[in-house]
Structure 1
Amino acid sequence: MKLAPLRSNAMRTLLFVFCVPLFFSAGTQQAAPPQGDPLPVPHYPAKPKPPTQTKTQKVANPLNDLLEEAQRDIDNKNFESAIAPLQRVIADQPEFAYAHFQLAYVYTALKRTDEARAEYTRTIAMDPKMSEAYLNLGILLLDKQESAAAVAPLRKAVDLLPSQSHPRYLLAVALDRSGDHAGAAEAFEALLHLDPSDATAINYLGWAALRGGKPAEAEGRFRRAMEVQPKEPGASKGLAESLDAQKKTEAAAAYRDYLGIMPNDSEARARLVHLLLEQNQSDAALAELDRLDAGKPPALESLKLRADVQVAGKKWDDSIATLQQALALAPNDAQLHGGLGRIFLQKRDFAAAEKELRTALRLDRENLGYWKDLSSTFFLGGNYPAALSTLDEIAKMEQPGAGVWFVRAICYDKLNQPKPALEAYQKFLALDQDKNPDQVWQARERSKVLQRMLERKR
């Protein structure tokens, strides 16, 4: 861990920046980056001034010699050796804040974090103006995943170092990790006042706007971030998602640009395929799927998406082959069987359609769509008794509409059952209210014929 070592007036002052990755909280499905995907963290070569020397720092030469010895050990990264001379100084001068700070720094380098934390706390109590102590304590707590505890010392470091960017950045990280996203956004806004080109801050505010349902504001943020860093993945993806959220047609191009930077983001490529499909660009969508599956066996979700694209392009045989390939991976997926059944129905292969739809219903009996497709399979295939039986099952789940009564009427009519056929035609006419003139005409004409047939039988 790289922290801020503090030295006396006779020594130079250094602050090594500890780079803390920033994680965005997970929001809606397409609003934020994937959990655990850090944005790049800038390096701030800040050099805070050493604290003003007090009386307790003007120690006798033997103690200065011990401090010099400890400093040489620190410079040479012999941190274990630096402990003894610093402890001797503290034993002689227990209120000497500088020695406590250096000891805390040494403990931090040795990953003795509990001891380092205690020494930073003592340093702050002795010298409340020592900005480096607050900063390093905050960094230590962030490293220990104690983000909420890190907020207070980092906020104090910001107060003491108002012109420096890095303390504000660390404060924003602590606030974000502790769940205070509004506070983190405020800290990043303040950071932008110091450095308007800080890409991390701009990106964070862009994602915050997108999560907050403000895609137009997010778009502006991400465009600015890309002006600063044109190939920054987070900004490129954010721009694509913000355009997507606004349903702008240029979202597809933005996803393509992002995938040029991050070609292995399968979720983004899948979203691009959906957008191309919505824009009726099925060939382009298939090309993107080919890129997604290049050099590896296609995943189940990729096969499902490919089938959707092929169906949209009315490539029935290709879609059948794709769904059969998917079923080899997931033989008990009701959706796959149902989709395959519907395609067979489209091709008027009624036997194959019935087989797949019955399998889908065995796996998901309450799926109304599968029942309706099965009833259509029977009706179009001329199996009117089975069609009526299936319509009876559907009626248990939803109230029959005008179209269902028209189909029932035809089934009864084909089966030479004039009484139920006439009743079904009459229910259709009452519900349809002349919305479908061709079917209304047919129902009226058949009703006349059926009425005469029933009268002759009396």
Structure 2
Amino acid sequence: MRAFGVLVVASAVSLAACGGSKKDPATQAQPASSAKPVATAAPAPAVAPPTSEEASLGIKSFQSGDVPGAKKHFEAAVKKNPKDADALYYLGLVADQAGDKKSAEENYLAALQQRPDLDNAYVNLGALYIEGERINEALLITRQGLQKNPKHPGLHLNLGVGLATKGDIAGATRAFEEATRLAPEDPVFQVTYAHWLVVWKRTDEAAAKLRSARPLAENNVDTLGAIAKEMRLAGAAADCVPTLDKAIAIKDSPELRYERGLCKVALRDEPGSLLDFQMAVAKAPSHADPHYWLAGRYAVLEKWKDVISEYEAYLRLAPNGPFARTAQERIELAKQKSGGAAGGKKTQQGKATPAPKK
């Protein structure tokens, strides 16, 4: 089972790379679902209305959440006119969100062949390539898009991610700076840039970007969660907790509880972290990582039976997980300690043996 954690910034612009509601809907994607990374690009400038009635109906269905109905309309539009760029683009988007990357790529490329000015197709296709670790292709399609529209912030963001992935820090920095300059009110651009600043060990700069992004996120829980995680990774745990306090007040979730627990561990808030990990486990018992961290909190309290139970739960769920070896070692240590007095086995000096951490 995959590692459990709060939503993270994508390595590229998300599948729904053009979220927003103020531009022509014919050129927009919808915001990513809560199961997707939250990094999204700014919407492209409005272009001509859809070229067919079927495409227009499909867009309305898509925006209302009726994805199957939308797909039928887009397929009907393409059947009537194989060169309908809007329908081809949206078929790519539907496939992209469904995880059908091959169909998504084919439809994005077909849309661009018919309408080379379709910025969002460049953005989403670049993101698809980055997600698939096809970085050279991502950079190529992104640069082609920038030739058409050199002021599209989402394309500069994808360029930054692609260059950062290849280790070109200077080039990536220039691209991120341009992306955030062009989209100063979009918090996700700041978060994406901050993510890479953390990777580059420029944590003070990252924390500053994240503090600027937080008020821009307003009540977007996914974005607040991503900001909080990057704050923790940047060493700004004191900023992480209030950010998650706000997110959890809007919509409580095991992911947010787990992330806040990690932030509280960094702040040495044992009671607070214990409660958050307990809640995360209660809300999502099938996820491994909260069990691991909850075991560590029980170890601080010398509740050895609970320590063993939680580490064993972690190993059942993630037998090959990143903490598996440590969990097994700590189970053995906890078993040794549970064999003594309830408060922990005493040393020869009469002092309790230190409990295993984390």
Taking structure 1 as the reference length, what is the TM-score of the superposition? 0.46
Aligned-residue offset at 1:193:
2.0
**2:335 is aligned with 1:337:** yes
Write the mapping of 1:118-129 to structure 2, written as runs, cut at 5 A.
119-120=110-111, 123=114
Distance 2:291 2:78 in 1: 57
C-alpha change, 1:136 and 1:301, in structure 2 (3 Å) is: closer
Choose from 264, 273, 277 the match for 1:272.
264
* 2:3 corresponds to: none
Distance 2:25 2:309 in 1: 62
Choose from 238, 241, 258 the match for 1:256.
241
**2:27 is aligned with 1:16:** yes
User: Which amino acid counterpart does residue 56 of structure 2 have in structure 1?
Assistant: D
Aligned-residue offset at 1:161:
1.2
Write the mapping of 1:176-255 to structure 2, written as runs, cut at 5 A.
182=169, 184-229=172-217, 232-244=224-236, 251=237, 253-255=238-240
Aligned-residue offset at 1:71:
2.6
> Residue 17 of structure 1 contacts residue 44 of structure 1 at CA under 8 Å; is this kept in 2?
yes
Tell me the alpha carbon deviations over residues 177-212 of structure 1, each in whole angstroms, 9 at most, x when there is no partner: x65674554432211222223211211121211121
Distance 1:270 1:115 in 2: 41
CA RMSD between the two structures: 4.6
Write the mapping of 1:12-411 to structure 2, written as runs, cut at 5 A.
15-18=26-29, 38-41=37-40, 43-44=42-43, 46-48=45-47, 71-77=52-58, 78-83=73-78, 86=81, 99=83, 101=85, 104-105=88-89, 108=92, 116=107, 119-120=110-111, 123=114, 130-132=116-118, 136=121, 139-140=124-125, 142-143=127-128, 147-148=134-135, 149-172=137-160, 182=169, 184-229=172-217, 232-244=224-236, 251=237, 253-260=238-245, 261-262=247-248, 264=254, 265-276=257-268, 285-294=270-279, 296=282, 299=291, 301-308=293-300, 310=301, 319=302, 322-327=303-308, 333-340=331-338, 343-346=344-347
Distance 2:295 2:16 in 1: 48
User: Which amino acid counterpart does residue 195 of structure 1 have in structure 2?
Assistant: A
User: Which amino acid counterpart does residue 304 of structure 1 have in structure 2?
Assistant: G
Tell me the alpha carbon deviations over residues 386-409 of structure 1, each in whole angstroms, 9 at most, x when there is no partner: xxxxxxxxxxxxxxxxxxxxxxxx
Distance 2:106 2:213 in 1: 41
> Residue 17 of structure 2 contacts residue 123 of structure 2 at CA under 8 Å; is this kept in 1?
no
Distance 1:48 1:337 in 2: 67
Distance 1:267 1:220 in 2: 20
Deviates more, 1:189-198 or 1:259-268: 259-268
Tell me the alpha carbon deviations over residues 78-125 of structure 1, each in whole angstroms, 9 at most, x when there is no partner: 4445446646xxxxxxxxxxx58578558748965576466457558x
Distance 2:89 2:106 in 1: 10
> Residue 141 of structure 1 contacts residue 150 of structure 1 at CA under 8 Å; is this kept in 2?
yes
C-alpha change, 1:329 and 1:348, in structure 2 (3 Å) is: farther
Distance 1:222 1:166 in 2: 19
What SS is found at the alignment partner of 2:52?
helix
Tell me the alpha carbon deviations over residues 44-65 of structure 1, each in whole angstroms, 9 at most, x when there is no partner: 2521479xxxxxxxxxxxxxxx
Point out where structure 2 has 5 or more consecutive residues left out of the alignment. Answer: 1-14, 19-23, 59-72, 96-102, 313-327, 354-358
Aligned-residue offset at 1:307:
2.7
Distance 2:93 2:291 in 1: 46
C-alpha change, 1:217 and 1:71, in structure 2 (3 Å) is: same
Deviates more, 1:201-210 or 1:139-148: 139-148
Distance 2:91 2:310 in 1: 54
Point out where structure 1 has 5 or more consecutive residues left out of the alignment. Answer: 5-12, 23-35, 51-67, 88-98, 125-129, 245-250, 277-283, 311-318, 357-458
Aligned-residue offset at 1:241:
3.6
Taking structure 2 as the reference length, what is the TM-score of the superposition? 0.57
Larger radius of gyration: 1
User: Which amino acid counterpart does residue 235 of structure 1 have in structure 2?
Assistant: I
C-alpha change, 1:14 and 1:215, in structure 2 (3 Å) is: closer
> Residue 274 of structure 1 contacts residue 285 of structure 1 at CA under 8 Å; is this kept in 2?
no
What SS is found at the alignment partner of 1:227?
helix
Distance 1:103 1:303 in 2: 51
> Residue 100 of structure 1 contacts residue 122 of structure 1 at CA under 8 Å; is this kept in 2?
no
> Residue 138 of structure 1 contacts residue 151 of structure 1 at CA under 8 Å; is this kept in 2?
no
* 2:319 corresponds to: none
User: Which amino acid counterpart does residue 38 of structure 1 have in structure 2?
Assistant: P
Distance 1:256 1:163 in 2: 36
Distance 1:242 1:105 in 2: 37
User: Which amino acid counterpart does residue 117 of structure 2 have in structure 1?
Assistant: S
C-alpha change, 1:329 and 1:154, in structure 2 (3 Å) is: closer
Aligned-residue offset at 1:285:
1.9
Aligned-residue offset at 1:270:
3.9
* 2:21 corresponds to: none
Distance 2:309 2:76 in 1: 65
- Structure with the bigger RCO (C-alpha within 8 Å, sep 6+) is 2
